[in-house]
Amino acid sequence: MLIIFKELTKQFEQSLLDSLEKNDKKGEFEILRKNLITQSSKEEFGDYQCNVCLSLSKIFKKNPRDISNDFINLLKKNKSIAKLCKSLEIAGPGFINIKLKDEVLINEIISNIQCNRAGIPLIRKDLDRGLSNKVIVDFSSPNIAKEMHVGHLRSTIIGDSISRIFELRGYEVLRLNHVGDWGTQFGMLITQLKDLYSNDLEEIGKIKISDLVEFYKESKKRFDNESEFQKRSREEVVKLQSGDIKSIKAWKLLCDQSRQEFDEIYKNLKIKIEERGESFYNPFLKSVIDDLNLKKILVEDQGAKCVFLDGMTNKEGKPLPLIIQKKDGGFNYATTDLAAIRYRFNKPPNGDDASRIIYVTDHGQANHFAGVFQVAKKAKWIPENCQVDHVPFGLVQGIDGKKLKTREGETIRLKDLLNEAVRRAKEDLLKRLEDEDRYENEEFIANTSRIIGFGAVKYADLSQNRITNYQFSFDKMLSLNGNTAPYLLYTLVRILGIKRKNDFVYDSKDFQYVNYENKSEWKLIRKLLKFDEVIISIEKDLMPNRLCNYLFELCQTFNRFYDQVPILKEEKNIKISRLNLCDLTAKTLKLSLELLGIETLERM
Ligand code: ARG
């Protein structure tokens, strides 16, 4: 319905402008045109509403209902509006409720039935914005030799979904894994590796560390407690940075082994991502400093080079610094991010030529990114009309509201968490099969539990308003009732079941009739028509939970429709019309679940 919405907005703007001009108030137009028409707050009010008359009444110093009356009369004279709208009515203190004509909605639904993208428009590549269509999504990004924890899982799931939405819209998406593969911690890790395994160049490449996370913990303990170890670790950092062959080989080994563990998770969850870690930006760090110096942005403070941030203060009210180079000459996490922004917006060969960069990390990094963005803007590294967004998310908690832990109080390993979801999904499925006296083979059971288990974890995460903390509960996410993946998957299976039962051959493409007599049928049509607006709003605000909410409502609307109207028993025309609505619902569900990174099932 986006096209209708846009057309309506354009025409309303025209009428608003006319009425302002008549009253010599043209200057107010820019403010008033913002959100001129919006979705109706309640379905029964109509399709859209317009609240501008309340503001107009203050400007014209007249009663808002009188203004509404005049404005409606003016709107009704507009031919395009008359073509689209069934009614424009005053409500409350002076709102205008807008109802679209039935045939307008029906034409739209017919075109969506025939469209294999369920009505989602592609971006217009021919519109020369002077910008590339490249969007970088920086997500997942675990740290080498450290645990990939639930925070990284959230980033992975949210980042993947955002990437998929941009891909569907036709953007060129570069999915980047900004892994923490550089920094002083490698000094202690390599020293530990040499002590524990081998200091021999040939041997280093063959080492197999059984438990990297344990290994990290042990090295950290030694680093904190043994001064001699600490000294050697510091020397090792210098060696690594100067490119010593042995150190580099050890570093690569650590990265490779971590990568294998990360890749297993990506493979399971079917995540596509390109690794480009912090080390990639090493060669560009020095020029970050040089350019900031040249632009006179850098300040020396107690030996460190930093930028004091506008509008960001510490507890004592003093401006916060973003430290770019430490006193000892070392660079920071922020320095790498500055080099990365610069590289990503730059044109090739030394750049990606992106027009938007999206960073998905936990909320704890909000200040880091605000600082980095501010400095990058000051340095003019973000080209005009290009955009950077931090997509923050809250913590994952156990049902007790505390940090997610195993019963023994250990942090839960991602692998175990995903396996547990699949195990429980299988348990539920076996019970269901028993209750229904159904037999399914091993392959069906394994595949179905995997899809439901992984889908449930992903959906539980995506369906939350990402900014708030969320409580991780296997019971809730695996339930067949409520806003869960199993409920959506089940609704889809239900629709596919109807189609299997239907033995009547029809071609939806040739069919131009949609019945809308029944109330629940009409509600389904309207719900289906909202899909494109949801997707476009996510592209703007990066909130995948809106898609989940929409899908939940769509499924509820569909299930009500299915419970209330006969489909296969109807006469031919109505049957085809309803089957077409089933098809479009299934298509919308499948496509959306794909956008959420969730595989679908024919039966479950
Ligand atoms: N490695 C970081 C962490 O685990 C996340 C990196 C996010 N991306 C970035 N460009 N800083 O917290």
Task: Report yes or no on 89 lying in a domain.
Answer: yes
Cβ atoms within 10 Å, residue 448: 20
- Tell which phi-psi region holds residue 118, choosing left (phi > 0), alpha (psi between -120 and 50) or beta: left
In this predicted model, which residue has the larger pLDDT, 163 or 130? 163
Q: What is the atom index within ligand 1 of the atom nearest the CA of 146?
A: 4
CA of 103 from ligand 1 middle (Å) equals 51
Q: What is the atom index within ligand 1 of the atom nearest the CA of 362?
A: 12
Peptide bond into 544 cis (omega under 30): no
Question: How far, in Å, are 155, 354, 558, 568 from residue 391 at the CA level?
Answer: 9, 17, 32, 46
Cα 308 to chain center, whole Å?
31
The residue-averaged pLDDT of 473-491 equals 96
CA of 180 from ligand 1 middle (Å) equals 7
Cα 547 to chain center, whole Å?
10
Torsion of CA 414, 415, 420, 425, to 10 degrees: 100
CA of 455 from ligand 1 middle (Å) equals 25
| Interhelix angle 572-595/519-529, nearest 10 degrees | 40
What is the token pair recorded at 298? 């850098």
Cα 223 to chain center, whole Å?
39
* Rounded Cα distance, 46 and 63, in Å: 24
Task: Report yes or no on 79 lying in a domain.
Answer: yes
pLDDT greater than 70 at residue 128: no
Long-range CB pairs of 447-450, under 8 A, 24+ apart, other chains included: 448/601, 448/603, 448/604, 449/422, 449/423, 449/425, 450/422, 450/425
pLDDT greater than 70 at residue 127: no
Do 270 and 285 share a structural domain?
no
CA of 366 from ligand 1 middle (Å) equals 11
Question: Using an 8 Å Cβ cutoff, are 261 and 140 in contact?
Answer: no
Question: Using an 8 Å Cβ cutoff, are 334 and 371 in contact?
Answer: yes
* Rounded Cα distance, 535 and 171, in Å: 14
**Domain end: 225, 249, 276, which one?**
276
The residue-averaged pLDDT of 554-582 equals 95
CA of 371 from ligand 1 middle (Å) equals 14
* Rounded Cα distance, 250 and 256, in Å: 10
| Interhelix angle 150-169/442-462, nearest 10 degrees | 90
CA of 597 from ligand 1 middle (Å) equals 22
For 513, phi then psi, to 5°, come to -115, 130
Residue whose CA is closest, atom 7 of ligand 1? Answer: 141
Question: Using an 8 Å Cβ cutoff, are 299 and 250 in contact?
Answer: no
DSSP symbols for 68-99: HHHHHHHHHH-HHHHHHEEEEEEETTTEEEEE
* Rounded Cα distance, 84 and 102, in Å: 9
Q: What is the atom index within ligand 1 of the atom nearest the CA of 340?
A: 10
Do 196 and 60 share a structural domain?
no
Task: Report yes or no on 477 lying in a domain.
Answer: no
**What end-to-end distance do the CA atoms of the chain give, in Å?**
33
pLDDT digits (tens, 9 = 90+) for 84-111: 999 999 999 999 999 999 999 999 999 9
Residue from 141, 148, 174, 259 to probe ligand 1 pocket by mutation (most atoms less than 8 Å from CB): 141
pLDDT digits (tens, 9 = 90+) for 326-335: 998 889 999 9
Residue whose CA is closest, atom 4 of ligand 1? Answer: 142
Residue whose CA is closest, atom 5 of ligand 1? Answer: 141
CA of 165 from ligand 1 middle (Å) equals 22
In this predicted model, which residue has the larger pLDDT, 538 or 42? 538
The CATH number for 388's domain is 3.40.50.620
CA of 336 from ligand 1 middle (Å) equals 10
Do 385 and 308 share a structural domain?
yes
pLDDT at residue 328, as a whole number: 85
Residue from 136, 262, 365 to probe ligand 1 pocket by mutation (most atoms less than 8 Å from CB): 365
pLDDT digits (tens, 9 = 90+) for 372-393: 999 999 999 999 999 999 999 9
Do 381 and 306 share a structural domain?
yes
Instruction: Please enumerate in sequence order all residues whose Cβ is within 8 A of that of 195, keeping only pairs 6 or more positions apart, or say none.
Output: 229
Q: What is the atom index within ligand 1 of the atom nearest the CA of 368?
A: 11
Instruction: Note down the domain range covering 191.
Output: 184-276
pLDDT greater than 70 at residue 9: yes
**Burial of 305 from C-beta contacts in 10 A (0-12 / 13-18 / 19+):** buried
CA of 367 from ligand 1 middle (Å) equals 13
Do 51 and 140 share a structural domain?
no
Question: Using an 8 Å Cβ cutoff, are 381 and 292 in contact?
Answer: no
CA of 212 from ligand 1 middle (Å) equals 19
Average pLDDT, the chain: 93
Do 296 and 354 share a structural domain?
yes
Do 301 and 268 share a structural domain?
no
pLDDT at residue 604, as a whole number: 95
CA of 531 from ligand 1 middle (Å) equals 33
CA of 145 from ligand 1 middle (Å) equals 14
Residue whose CA is closest, atom 6 of ligand 1? Answer: 141
What is the token pair recorded at 434? 């028993």
**Domain end: 341, 371, 393, which one?**
393
Task: Report yes or no on 265 lying in a domain.
Answer: yes
> What is the model's pTM?
0.94
pLDDT digits (tens, 9 = 90+) for 345-378: 999 999 999 999 999 999 999 999 999 999 999 9
Task: Report yes or no on 35 lying in a domain.
Answer: yes
pLDDT greater than 90 at residue 254: yes
CA of 208 from ligand 1 middle (Å) equals 26
**Domain end: 276, 299, 322, which one?**
276
Question: Using an 8 Å Cβ cutoff, are 96 and 50 in contact?
Answer: yes
pLDDT digits (tens, 9 = 90+) for 388-425: 999 999 988 888 888 787 777 777 888 899 999 999 99
The residue-averaged pLDDT of 525-549 equals 96
pLDDT digits (tens, 9 = 90+) for 446-457: 999 999 999 999
CA nearest to 241, candidates 180, 178, 187: 187
Residues paired with 470 in a beta bridge: 396
CA nearest to 398, candidates 472, 475, 470: 472
What is the token pair recorded at 422? 């699949």
Task: Report yes or no on 504 lying in a domain.
Answer: no
Pocket of ligand 1 (CB under 6 A): 138, 141-143, 178, 180, 337, 340, 359, 361
pLDDT digits (tens, 9 = 90+) for 288-317: 999 999 999 999 999 999 999 999 998 898
DSSP class of residue 405 equals B
* The residue count for the chain: 604
Residue from 137, 178, 281 to probe ligand 1 pocket by mutation (most atoms less than 8 Å from CB): 178
Do 171 and 281 share a structural domain?
yes
Q: What is the atom index within ligand 1 of the atom nearest the CA of 337?
A: 10
Do 310 and 215 share a structural domain?
no
Residue ranges of E strands in 13-76: 37-39, 48-50
pLDDT greater than 70 at residue 72: yes
CA of 13 from ligand 1 middle (Å) equals 43
Question: How far, in Å, are 113, 114, 125, 514, 580 from residue 511 at the CA level?
Answer: 10, 9, 31, 9, 9
Q: Which region among 142-146, 356-360, 399-403, 512-516 has the lowest average model confidence (pLDDT)? A: 399-403
Cα 465 to chain center, whole Å?
11
For 146, phi then psi, to 5°, come to -115, 165
Domain count, the chain: 3
Do 41 and 67 share a structural domain?
yes
CA of 142 from ligand 1 middle (Å) equals 7
Residue from 338, 361, 369 to probe ligand 1 pocket by mutation (most atoms less than 8 Å from CB): 361
Give the side-chain half-sphere CA count within 13 A for 405: 8
Question: Using an 8 Å Cβ cutoff, are 25 and 19 in contact?
Answer: no
pLDDT digits (tens, 9 = 90+) for 172-224: 999 999 999 998 899 999 999 999 998 888 888 888 888 888 999 999 999 99
CA of 210 from ligand 1 middle (Å) equals 25
Residues paired with 95 in a beta bridge: 91
pLDDT at residue 456, as a whole number: 98
Q: Which ipTM score applies to this complex?
A: 0.99
pLDDT at residue 126, as a whole number: 65
Do 285 and 261 share a structural domain?
no
* Rounded Cα distance, 135 and 391, in Å: 14
Task: Report yes or no on 408 lying in a domain.
Answer: no
The proportion of the chain whose per-residue pLDDT surpasses 90, expressed as a percent, equals 81
Question: At 403, is the secondary structure helix, strand, or coil?
Answer: strand
Helices (H) and strands (E) in the chain, counts: 23, 14
Residue ranges of E strands in 197-318: 274-275, 299-301, 304-313
CA of 337 from ligand 1 middle (Å) equals 9
CA nearest to 343, candidates 296, 285, 272: 285
The CATH number for 72's domain is 3.30.1360
Task: Report yes or no on 44 lying in a domain.
Answer: yes
Residue whose CA is closest, atom 11 of ligand 1? Answer: 337
* Rounded Cα distance, 149 and 411, in Å: 8
pLDDT at residue 398, as a whole number: 86
Do 220 and 175 share a structural domain?
no
Q: What is the atom index within ligand 1 of the atom nearest the CA of 152?
A: 4
